[in-house]
Amino acid sequence: MACRRYSSTRHLQQQQPKLAYEWIVDGTVIPQSKIMDHEIDNDKEVIVFLHGLLGNAKNLRTPAKKLTQQLPHYNALLLDIRGHGNSSPSTIAKSQSTSFSQPHNFQSCVQDIFDTLSPLGLTGLNSPKAICGHSLGGRIALQYSHSLCTTAADTAQTIEPPRQTWVLDSVPGKADPSVHNVLRAISSLPRPIASKKWLIDTLVTKYSMDKGVAMWIATNLRDSGDGHKSLDWVFDLGIANELVQNFSDQDFVEMIHNVTTTTTNGKSSNDVNNDNNSMVQLVMAGKNKSWSDEIVSELESIPSFQKEESLRSSSLFQMHTLDKAGHWVHVDDLEGLLKLMVEGLKQ
């Protein structure tokens, strides 16, 4: 299946990007509020970063900073997906017209990305050359690349498919039970929330949650605005819950197959040197027990994966394992992840 291009003409009249964002240039963060004070070099290539469920763009700042320092010809664009961070209805300024209508699914998230890239001028030759997502963000990154490989373009003003899609510890299939447990726990809490300490203590004692996870969840709080110094979630719980329901609907393996295998003149190709092809790089956490032998075997059955180790560097679908890392691969083994990405993006 050949990668086609997504037409962005109908979005050019949009004044503001759909999603909240920040740039990282040469290791320096440029927040959206300061973007008018900086000139972004359009001659550099762009990699888009997408965070995981209940997270925000800041979660991926460190790998993005270090990547742009090691690959200075890249700028990084970090996005808050719908319902998260500064793209949450609770944090969007009332004067801003941005809204996120249902359905809250992966394809809607992809449309949000299209509606962000177009106003930023990231179309045509300026389209992002790579996209990288962690966990939920990895699923959306794959959906983004798949959409660009299966949507016919009707004009020259288009978003080009990325040359590489990096999927960081996104396990195919339905969400892990631990995800539902976290969502049920925080959904049952009274709002507004009294304090971060109360939240952490309650999640640990009442819901037997790991303290590290509870502390991370507590970073997603903001002033509730009720004048009583109480707190509320930065993210939109309703949107988050709906996105999780979409996990089992995504044909993860088939999407990788479609993105990495093109058809030209009736002949299939998964050659890394074919300009019509897009590469998928899947990074698995060695300590994540969700990567069962069955799942890995199914992924290895994708035609674009080379089982012979000597041929894997030329494969359009590549799988990597970071043995020292848990689910947060960009935290647990940042050095190992950066080594993979720097070498991969040089291909």
pLDDT in tens, the chain (347 residues): 445 444 444 444 445 789 999 999 999 999 998 888 777 887 899 999 999 999 999 999 999 999 999 999 999 999 999 999 999 876 654 434 457 888 999 999 999 999 999 999 999 999 999 999 999 999 999 999 999 987 755 444 589 999 999 999 999 999 999 999 999 999 999 999 999 999 999 999 999 999 999 999 998 998 877 666 789 999 999 999 999 999 999 999 999 999 998 643 334 555 555 555 689 999 999 999 999 999 999 999 999 998 777 777 778 999 999 999 999 999 999 999 999 999 999 87
**pTM for the model:** 0.90
Closest CA to 104 of 240, 247, 233, 249: 240
Number of helices (H) and strands (E), helices first, in the chain?
A: 11, 14
- pLDDT for 278: 87
Instruction: Please report the pLDDT score of residue 12 as a whole number.
Output: 41
Q: d(Cα 181, Cα 36) in Å, to the nearest integer?
A: 42
For residues 114 and 143, the answer to whether their CB atoms sit within 8 Å is no
Q: What is the distance between the alpha carbons of residues 8 and 244, in angstroms, rounded to a whole number?
A: 28
Distance CA 89, CA 84 (A): 8
Helix (H) or strand (E) run with residue 233 in it: strand 231-233
Residue 121 carries which side chain, given as an amino acid letter? G
